[in-house]
A and B are shown apart, each in its own frame.
Chain A
Amino acid sequence: MTASEPNAAPTGTMSSSAPPDGTESLDVGAPSGGDPSAPSITTTGQAVADTMEQVESYLAAQAPAAAEAAPAPAAAPLAPAPLPPLPFRLASGRYRSPAIGYQMELRVDVDGRRPLMRVSGDYWSVSGGTTTYFGSWTVDAATVTRTATEVIAVGTARTTWPTTYTVARVTIPRRRVFQPAAPATVRWSTPTGAVGATYVCAHESGSLRVVELEQDVEAGVTAFPKYDTGSLPSGGPARTLTVSAAYGEAGIQVLDTGGGNTLNTSGTHVWNNASLHGAMTAHFSRFAERPQFKVWLLHAARHELGTGLRGIMFDQQGLQRQGCASFYQVIQAATPANLREQLYVNVHELGHCFNLFHSFHKEFMTPPLPNRPGALSWMNYPQRYNPGGGAPSGAAAFWGAFPFQFDDLELAHLRHGFRNNVIMGGTPFGTGAAMEVPADPVQDTSGLRLSVRTTPTRPVLGTPIVLEIALTAERGQLVHPAEQLHPKYGQVRVTISRPRGDVVVHRPPVLHCMDAGLIRAEAGQVLPASAYIGYDATVGQVFDDPGTYRIRATYTAPDGSEVVSGTAMVRVWAARDEEDAVVADLMLGDEVGMALTLLGSDAPALADGMTALQEVAEEHGDHAMAVYARLALGINFARPYTPVAPDGTVGTDRPRDLDRAGALLRPALDASRGDGGMDDLTALQVMGYLARSHAAEGDTRGARQLREDAGRLASEKDVPTAALDLLRQEDEES
């Protein structure tokens, strides 16, 4: 075989240690003839030794000065008295594999300043004399272990290309300071353990990315030099910051490439975006219409939008985000407040060039994220700072608390965002503008635990995916009631990383507003909820590709705590036969998604969706997805429907049809008593709803039987008591 993508094992022979599932072991040596995609570094046999020699040779060539300066590991101190051990070098930093086949740039972020416990990388395809960017990958939550000899980071990667080799294991031998940094080894495998490619990457730098900055200045303007953050009250330690130093703290090395042209304009010159772009193309010596980590910053006086405009990222045509400008008209005098603002504006505008949106505009990105008006970040506006909860807001509060840094999600984007979403000249401004997956809090004392899982466990394409949410109170406290954990109430936000490489911040098509009505949860109490998340107000059908989806949820507690769940992974399998394909086609229509969200409707706008569900229920009645079709059709019959004409005229109610509802829902419920069908909570809610419908029609006996059946099912399935409480409460209300 040959490797068709960089994470897969290359051409090779079966070894005696082949994995039990029959996958091939790693090949050895250089890529097979004519296959530029075969990884170059492998694990076994003589050829491995040959390859390791290549790597050692490469490493020696990469860091000769460090190798010469450092003592050999075997050269122990001569003094007989034991010396305290020197501290270890940081493992974090940028690494690179040899330019053979695929070359990997590896970014390790597990220690040092604000470690995010992530690793990421980019691949370049090396063929003949050309090197071409291939793709990027990111492990959002690495499990990091440290032994006396190694640092090991393991996690599942999101990738920009389809691969089954998604588990990355990064191993870095520990070295003392003054010793040269050790290479990092990345080994790929599938979730089931089949081994893929291995890359050995030489240490390149302590920074995670490097960008070249060229700065020009308009005549009469003094460009920002530096600011002592101790000059005025702030939320961080006092230190002297330049623009480069601010980015250096974020792990981004900014190389000031000089330039330093003075643009001789008239003393009253007023810039607009077109003239700024023209100036960039004329004065930015490294300007090119291609993605490159190079950026231009003009220190200018004034813009046509007036004195209120302090800066702008004007490059929003062609390949965007390559240039920005800051305006000193009213902040030129070198007072501490002005220097602070100059620093803020310059770092902020360059942040836009890295594709960062304002903290309060995140909801307008593609894909969107919740706004973060309380972010103590370079990307906020001080006057718009609002941490919520009655805490002080506004500029004075911001500056008093601001530690001169990006927030965690922005930091993750800068360090680990997919290359094209970060690099200047990459994706358009606002696209892929942040790492969308919620970050784990550094500290969590909320006393709450959020967990999520999906049902069914092995869905085929087209299956409605339901997210089961459980909030556990580890100590007694006020929380939202279980039913308000459904994302439609806004307390729980769900993000879904899709196999196509994007992330959906789930927007339920129907939102509910409700008084918080907090309840007191006892210690150990579990509050369950389930939510259909297969259809989204922004992207429509969410799970419309086969592949692996990663889902996390965030619950905003009454005290403002952001409780983040672990990651639920669900693999959507491709259609296995013709009937699967036909049913998937029916189920993935937009109107079907909306009809499932509403659990059926008589609305003419959803007629095609209801017809598709009817076809699934009738023509494919034995198919697993018929359960969901019957669910939506049956619930719709179990409730009356009031038509409203386009002119607002209200028509006559269509009454409940409990016979047809029962005929549809009973088989759906029966199919859900075992491991298949609906999730347990949904099944109970359906029974509860049907019971209330019978009661509403005067059929108290039928209602009682359904409630008794629900009680038996709950007992068999060991459903949390909060779910039963909820059903009882609904019964009382009805």
Chain B
Amino acid sequence: MTDPTAPSLELGTGFRDDEVTVLLDGREVWHGRGVSTDYSVGLAAVVPLPAGGETVEVHVGGRAAGAARLADAAAVESGRLRVDLDPAGAMAIAPAPEGPVF
């Protein structure tokens, strides 16, 4: 079960059977194949992040990549970052929005 107190990275919309690698300060902390968004909840995966890192990078196969500072996530109460891809594959990483999902 997700630890609500730990920083995490939500892989959100736009993932289609992708190979995804998450790096923290250049070190791989998560890798997944066949990552696809479940549009029932708008999530593909929730990646727990080790505390203390500064920069998160996300690579989605060869089609998209992006980075964000964990301080951005810390700025919100949930401590969650979220990465979304638009239908054309452009990546956006930002603090995850608050509120329930369903």
A interface vs B, CB < 8 Å?
270, 304-314, 316, 324, 326, 341, 345, 348-349, 352, 357-358, 361, 363-364, 368, 381-384, 395, 429-430, 537-538
Contacts and interface: CB of A to CB of B under 8 A. Distances in A.
A348 B43 CA distance: 17
B39 A358 contact: yes
Interface string B58-102: 000000000000000000000000000011100000000111111
Given A304-B1, A364-B87, A309 B99 contact: no
Contacts of B40: 312-314, 316, 324, 349, 352, 429
Nearest to B86: A363
B32 to A, nearest CB: 16
B14 interface: yes
Given A307-B4, A363-B87, A364-B14, A357 B39 contact: yes
Contacts of A324: 40
B39 A361 contact: yes
Contacts of A307: 4
A329 to B, nearest CB: 11
A312 B42 CA distance: 10
Nearest to A306: B2
Contacts of A310: 100-102
Given A306-B2, A395-B99, A361 B42 contact: yes
Given A352-B40, A383-B98, A368 B87 contact: yes
Main DSSP-derived SS at the B contact region: loop
A646 to B, nearest CB: 15
A713 to B, nearest CB: 38
Contact of A305 (B13, B41, B86, B99): B41
A316 B38 contact: yes
A383 B102 contact: no
A393 to B, nearest CB: 12
A306 B43 contact: no
B84 to A, nearest CB: 10
Nearest to B1: A304
Contacts of A304: 1-2
A349 B87 contact: no
A102 B40 CA distance: 36
Given A364-B14, A364-B87, A312 B37 contact: no
Contacts of A381: 99-102
A306 B78 CA distance: 12
B29 interface: no
Interface of B: 1-2, 4, 13-14, 37-43, 46, 86-88, 97-102
A348 B102 CA distance: 8
A361 B13 contact: yes
Main DSSP-derived SS at the A contact region: loop
Q: Which of A312, A345, A363, A364 has the most CB of B within 10 A?
A: A364
A312 B41 contact: yes
Contacts of A363: 86-87
Q: Which of A305, A307, A368, A382 has the most CB of B within 10 A?
A: A305
Contacts of B41: 305, 309, 312
A309 B100 contact: yes
A306 B4 contact: yes
A430 B39 contact: yes
A435 B14 CA distance: 21
Contacts of B102: 309-312, 326, 345, 348-349, 381
A308 B39 contact: no
Contacts of A384: 97, 99
Contacts of B46: 305
B92 to A, nearest CB: 14
A312 B102 CA distance: 6
A316 B36 CA distance: 11
Contacts of A537: 88
Given A348-B102, A352-B40, 14 more contacts: A304-B1, A308-B101, A309-B41, A311-B102, A312-B40, A312-B102, A314-B40, A345-B102, A361-B13, A364-B13, A381-B101, A381-B102, A429-B39, A537-B88
A383 B99 contact: yes
Nearest to A433: B39
A509 to B, nearest CB: 11
B27 to A, nearest CB: 26
A381 B38 CA distance: 16
A306 B13 contact: no
Contacts of B101: 305, 308-310, 381
Q: Which of B43, B86, B102 has the most CB of A within 10 A?
A: B102
19 contacts: A305-B101, A306-B4, A307-B4, A310-B100, A310-B101, A310-B102, A311-B102, A326-B102, A348-B102, A349-B40, A358-B39, A358-B42, A363-B87, A364-B37, A381-B99, A381-B100, A395-B99, A537-B88, A538-B87
Q: Which of B97, B98, B101 has the most CB of A within 10 A?
A: B101
A352 B101 CA distance: 13
B42 to A, nearest CB: 6
Contacts of A309: 41, 100-102
A341 B100 CA distance: 10
A424 to B, nearest CB: 14
Contacts of A364: 13-14, 37, 39, 87
Contacts of A314: 40
Contacts of B2: 304-306
B96 to A, nearest CB: 10
Contacts of A270: 1
Nearest to A270: B1
Nearest to B12: A361
A348 B97 CA distance: 20
A306 B38 contact: no
B40 to A, nearest CB: 4
Nearest to A382: B99
A307 B101 CA distance: 9
Nearest to A311: B102
A395 B97 CA distance: 13
A352 B46 CA distance: 21
A324 B41 CA distance: 12
Nearest to A362: B39
A318 to B, nearest CB: 15
